[in-house]
Amino acid sequence: MTEQVFSFLEKDADHAVARLSELLSIASVSTDPAFEKEVVRGADWVAAQLTELGLDTAVHATAGHPAVVARSHDEQVANPSAPRVLFYGHYDVQPPDPLELWDTPPFEPTVRDGKLFARGSSDDKGQVMCFIEALRAWRQGSADGKLPCPVTVLIEGEEECGSVNLPPFVEANRELLSADVAVVSDTAMWPGREGYVPAITYALRGLLYFDIQLHGPSRDLHSGVYGGTLPNPATILTRVVGKLFDEDHRVVIPGYYDDVLELSDEERETWSALGFDERDYLDEIGVAEPYGESGFTTLERRWCRPACDVNGIYGGYMGEGAKTVIPTFAGAKVSFRLAANQDPIKIAASFEQWLRDQPTHGLEWKITNHGMARPVAVSTDSPFIAAARRGIEIASGRQPVLIREGATIPIVADFKTLLGIDTLLIGFGQHDDALHSPNEKFELKNFALGCRTHASLLAAIADL
Amino acid sequence: MTEQVFSFLEKDADHAVARLSELLSIASVSTDPAFEKEVVRGADWVAAQLTELGLDTAVHATAGHPAVVARSHDEQVANPSAPRVLFYGHYDVQPPDPLELWDTPPFEPTVRDGKLFARGSSDDKGQVMCFIEALRAWRQGSADGKLPCPVTVLIEGEEECGSVNLPPFVEANRELLSADVAVVSDTAMWPGREGYVPAITYALRGLLYFDIQLHGPSRDLHSGVYGGTLPNPATILTRVVGKLFDEDHRVVIPGYYDDVLELSDEERETWSALGFDERDYLDEIGVAEPYGESGFTTLERRWCRPACDVNGIYGGYMGEGAKTVIPTFAGAKVSFRLAANQDPIKIAASFEQWLRDQPTHGLEWKITNHGMARPVAVSTDSPFIAAARRGIEIASGRQPVLIREGATIPIVADFKTLLGIDTLLIGFGQHDDALHSPNEKFELKNFALGCRTHASLLAAIADL
């Protein structure tokens, strides 16, 4: 049956590109109110596609931009008792600026050399359409016109501006969104030694973000008249923040590493076979030397070790030249990327306590927690990972690689917490797709691969 | 003879206030080009006063605002072989903003309750006129109409905007400005237990100011994707700056304290008799605890110990909320207040070397030296200090206190370096004169005291 579906996708490829281009011509920039009508148009367009496929579809208002949810009926599904898949993606896009750097206009999709150029082509409209085209192929290209397994589709419109309204929406709609596994296509393939390889991302780091300020004198003081007599907030803040790490660049907060899942020998071996080129990685970002917690490779530190970064520092005189001032306060943005099994609530409490334990000589902390996201890791022994492997093999003829990701996709942790389900992260982007940049593109061969992969993935899940 | 001069000053007091008011009505704001004509008018007005007293007077053009220089002839001086006094002051003033906070307009001098309110009344026109009125009293009120000792007067117009053209002017006019001792009236009296006491400031700290930046990745990076794999400039900068001090809050730069003149037992005793109230001092600036190098009192740390302050920190995300970025660079403003006998050139080299010795893991320093000023200290055994003591005693009937100042007056070090002379810092301001603020005032009793003091100081110097 899957072969039938694949051949439909092949014959229908030009139409699929035309449909994707239609979606890409909608300027659904979520962060800028000037584009609000286009955002609504984006939601409506996606809803119309899903309605056309016969799914129960609704555009749901939120406190921000609308979310589209569509569900299959039992009579549309070959095996209604198979696990239900919740597909998540977003129809909103980043602003297209700077416009003058685009070779063709960002909302006039253009194919050149087998690449489709447009804002959102890879992030995330192209990847959303991979899934919708796979649904279409099963409905219109298979013998019985049925989907292999039950499907729910959730396409939101605020991913590029923080998804603030999504977790409450999920929480308020648990029944509507109930499923057995989530699938997200918003990541990239793995750049192996001989080109891009299909990848399953099975773990993401979590996030904890603080703004910490030390407050002192009631007004800015002349550092000549007062220097040396009182605690300077900028001096003490740098001193405290500077003590966050020991000589091995390990975070000194008590208990910080206690819950971190150790890397298995199997993972270590698998990763060393991935062909990660550290020199290329550093050259691309203009960095001379790798640096971080000792005892781990760069790829291990990136994927499975917690990191702590100072994301910003501010206070006192920050302009050109010199001003001799002792500032009333100074601040830093400090964030933690949490490795699998670390608990953000526990780490947040431990960090705050550590800060308050540092000598500040009468200066006072103002600590703001700007949010947290749990790390996630799906067991590589999970049947859904096995199904994903099979689906990818059938679609591509290649073995997928299992990778992790250092960054955070908060909704994945929310799906775990609110819906109790794991997520399969299977993306078809490339690292050179220029996400968030001018001349964003999606390779048409990756679009085709994505459509095929989602089609065979649904069949593989139905067979579980 | 001095008694005659004092009684002239007493009889002429109203005229002196009228003359000062005339000068105060000139809006000679040096930092704002809109006031340029008024600045020139200020220079001309001062020059006219000095010409009227018979001195060789000229208004000298500089690359900025003009400087007025006047010299006495031998036939105008009772003892032409006595030491020559170089008096320094400035005719320019701070901007008067915010205007709405003034009770009477800043350039319409008004007397209320024995106080003369106007911009520049205390800083520094009132103090300049103390000296000019003393010259007038000797010329017009003494039996022979002669000055006790030779006098040179230098009144500049750029003190409130950094005096950038003054050192080159002094260097280019060494002969014109040659003298045996300088006198500067731009400081305040000492707030003792029973009111303000005349003070001689015999030492000032020097200054060394750096902007230090650490540069890393070629672009801002996503801290999720990259965190933990490379040296973050904001993290490493805070670590390095945080290591500048040891646990006793002593600066760790090699050789930093080597040349610092130790406080003498006599100074220590004198200072403890000054009645410095640490709690009042801290309360006024809203600070809970004193803090600094251990082993010294707050007043000692302020006046005779070097200080190091972080005057500003900047880099990465400095706005509201959260942004997960590893910045390309981060910077800090770091300044040193140098104690008597420290050499800014040596300390600058030592600091730069110390920075370069810190591990930065391939990040690169960009270090900018924003200028230096040598510390100055006049031996309290100097005959000029003795003369100043006598002059003050005769004028006020009180013993002056000998104090230091934590801040820097760069021209004092320039006089030492370029003209080879010490400076007597004798000021008549009060800490509540609201310098640089709305409702700046000068107490008329302090104006009178200043005129008398300069008159008797000249006589005391002539007797050396």
Q: How far apart are CA A271 and CA A261, in angstroms?
A: 16
Residue among B282, B293, B330 whose CB faces A313 most closely: B330
Nearest CA in chain B to A297: B229
Chain A residues whose CB is inside 8 A of the B243 CB are: 242
> Are A169 and A103 in contact, with CB atoms under 8 Å apart?
no
Q: What is the pLDDT of residues B380-406, one digit of tens each?
A: 999 999 999 999 999 999 999 999 999
Q: Do A291 and B225 touch (CB under 8 A)?
A: no
The single-letter code of the amino acid at B286 is: G
Model pLDDT, residue A300? 96
Q: What length does chain A have?
A: 464
DSSP string for residues in A344-364 = HHHHHHHHHHHHHHS--TT-E
The single-letter code of the amino acid at B229 is: T
Mean pLDDT per block of 10 residues along chain A (464 residues) reads 95 98 97 95 98 98 97 97 98 92 97 98 97 98 97 96 92 98 95 92 95 95 94 98 95 97 91 92 94 95 96 95 92 97 96 98 96 92 97 96 93 96 97 91 98 98 96
Q: Do B362 and A225 touch (CB under 8 A)?
A: no
Chain B residues whose CB is inside 8 A of the A405 CB are: 224-225
**Whether residue A98 has a cis bond before it, omega within 30° of 0:** yes
Average pLDDT, chain B: 96
Q: How far apart are CA B421 and CA B182, in angstroms?
A: 7
Please, what are the domains in chain A? 2-203+376-462 (3.40.630.10), 206-260+306-373 (3.30.70.360)
What value does the mean pLDDT take over residues B212-221? 94
Residue in the structure block whose two tokens are 């500003």: B312
The single-letter code of the amino acid at A440 is: E
Model pLDDT, residue A162? 84
Chain centroid, CA B344 distance in Å: 18
Q: Do B332 and A238 touch (CB under 8 A)?
A: yes
Q: How far apart are CA B222 and CA A205, in angstroms?
A: 13
What value does the mean pLDDT take over residues B262-286? 92
Chain B residues whose CB is inside 8 A of the A325 CB are: 311-312
The single-letter code of the amino acid at A129 is: M
Q: What length does chain B have?
A: 464
Nearest to B316 by CA among B221, B242, B180: B221
Q: How far apart are CA A382 and CA A182, in angstroms?
A: 13
Q: Do B312 and A327 touch (CB under 8 A)?
A: yes
Please give, rounded to a whole number of angstroms, the shortest distance from the CA of B397 to a CA of chain A: 29
Chain B residues whose CB is inside 8 A of the A327 CB are: 311-312
Model pLDDT, residue B357? 98
Nearest to B96 by CA among B157, B187, B35: B35
Model pLDDT, residue B371? 85
Nearest to A152 by CA among A190, A181, A172, A188: A181
> Are A360 and A240 in contact, with CB atoms under 8 Å apart?
yes
Check whether B209 has a pLDDT greater than 90. yes
What is the dihedral angle through the alpha carbons of A400, A402, A405, A410, rounded to the nearest 10 degrees?
Answer: 90
Q: Do B223 and A309 touch (CB under 8 A)?
A: yes
User: CB atoms < 10 A from the CB of A251, how many?
Assistant: 19
Do the strands A199-204 and B67-71 form a parallel or antiparallel pair, or are they unpaired? unpaired
